[in-house]
Amino acid sequence: MKYSDFSWDFREADTKRFTHCYHSYPAMMIPQIAERLLVKYGMNSKILFDPYCGTGTSLVEANLKNIHAIGTDINPLARLIAKAKTTLINTQLLDLYLKDFNDFAFQFRFGITRNYSVVLPQFSNIDFWFNKRAQHKLAIIKSFIDNIKDDHVRMFFLVAFSETIRESSLTKKSEFKLVRIQKEKRDNFDPDSFGIFLSKLSRNKNGLLEYEKAKENVATSAIHSFNTVNYIPDSKIADHSMDIILTSPPYGDSRTTVAYGQYSRLSNQWMGIENANRIDELLMGGKKKNHPYSINSFILNDTIEKIAQTDEKRAKEVFSFFVDYKKSIDNVSKKLKPRKYACYVVGNRTVKSVQIPMDEITKEFFEMNDFRHVETIIRNIPNKRMPSKNSPSNVVGDKSTTMKHEYIVVMQKK
């Protein structure tokens, strides 16, 4: 059964409640979808698995319902945010550090301390993306964070710091990809990094307090970095052990679809993550596979052939993503208990004017793993932060409409 249901649009819903307010991120699943799916398909569940957890939307919602959760993601920034969003902190200790930083920042913002020595990070193109004023202020903030003794408090501060990095950079803030602002704006750009950071800390603390008040249970989350395309270690997640799988996977490779790697790069570099500029290569479809197409899927192969008629290179990129996507579903499927549900929130993107039916392909991949299709719910995307138009051919003026709908694909293991 496949149908449209406007009640899943959540046009007026507060999508930034609880710790969901912590950090922006590309193509986030809104919490109301996760909550409703848990009510409908996760009753009496003890543990949830999200194989592409991103910043942890499903994990937070599971924990609020006293369901333990396990999430995996390759991106270090995503894991940091997800862990912070699902971690309660001693608020008295947090308040002490917040007061210390307020005092610390006051001295610098008003010129009381002028000769504070900091070490700037060394990474490629730092001067391209940050002017010297911003670099110095960010390095001062980072020096304070590095001296925080409590791991949970330091993590809380790092999440706010990550957003401050982005807002202090010479990037267009309306873009997830790394695009530099115009020269006339760069020349006079002098962000109030201390003020931005304090604002993020205050907002996040309010979200934390709201989450703490709502979470009257002991449910926890564990976030791992292994790649579900390659393997899922039994030591972390045993076969047939999960009560529900709830996730929103990437809709395509990160380089050409949603720029997870580019969006995260500057934060990961400031936080000392090795190979931060290679995240996209590690994500699904990051490395191209050669033809011939070998997946036994008529829907997928027909789609690839249509794209290949226009652009063989793009066809290979799309195929490479779905090779990895199928491997991941094969591995993920083993972890679910019999008769339990897998809920995948996907989008049907367009490549070279060919719409890719990812909902049907997802359904077919799960059916290959002995699942039955329960339903596919089509919802409008009223607030998703994606461009309404893109250029499929890279020809100036040639525009096509991007995704306006999501598809909630629900499968049940036999």
Please give the Cα distance from 206 to 201 (Å, whole number): 9
> Residue 65 domain-assigned?
yes
Residues 195 and 322 placed together within one structural domain of the fold = no
Residues 389 and 250 placed together within one structural domain of the fold = yes
Residues 119 and 208 placed together within one structural domain of the fold = yes
Please give the Cα distance from 225 to 230 (Å, whole number): 12
pTM: 0.93
> Residue 22 domain-assigned?
no
> Residue 222 domain-assigned?
yes
- For residue 150, give its domain range: 91-213
pLDDT over 70 (residue 402)? no
Residues 186 and 304 placed together within one structural domain of the fold = no
Instruction: Provide the domain count of the chain.
Output: 2
| Confidence at 21, pLDDT banded by 50, 70, 90 | very high
Residue 291, token pair as written in the block? 């033809």
What pLDDT is stored for residue 228 in this prediction? Answer: 95
Residues 113 and 223 placed together within one structural domain of the fold = no
Residues 168 and 307 placed together within one structural domain of the fold = no
DSSP string, 313-348: HHHHHHHHHHHHHHHHHHHHHTTEEEEEEEEEEE--
Out of 92-101, 108-117, 189-198, 329-338, pick the least confident: 108-117
| Confidence at 275, pLDDT banded by 50, 70, 90 | confident
| Confidence at 252, pLDDT banded by 50, 70, 90 | confident
| Confidence at 176, pLDDT banded by 50, 70, 90 | confident
The per-residue pLDDT of the chain, averaged, comes to 91
Task: Convert the pLDDT of each residue in 91-138 to its tens digit.
Answer: 999 999 999 999 999 888 777 766 677 889 999 899 999 999 999 999
Out of 223-227, 287-291, 321-325, 329-333, pick the least confident: 287-291
Mean pLDDT of 154-164: 98
Could you tell me which of 353, 291, 297, 354 has the C-alpha nearest to residue 325? 297
Residues 191 and 224 placed together within one structural domain of the fold = no
Task: Convert the pLDDT of each residue in 254-273 to its tens digit.
Answer: 677 778 889 999 999 999 98
Please give the Cα distance from 77 to 226 (Å, whole number): 14
Q: In percent, how much of the chain has pLDDT > 90?
A: 77
pLDDT over 90 (residue 369)? yes
pLDDT over 50 (residue 385)? no
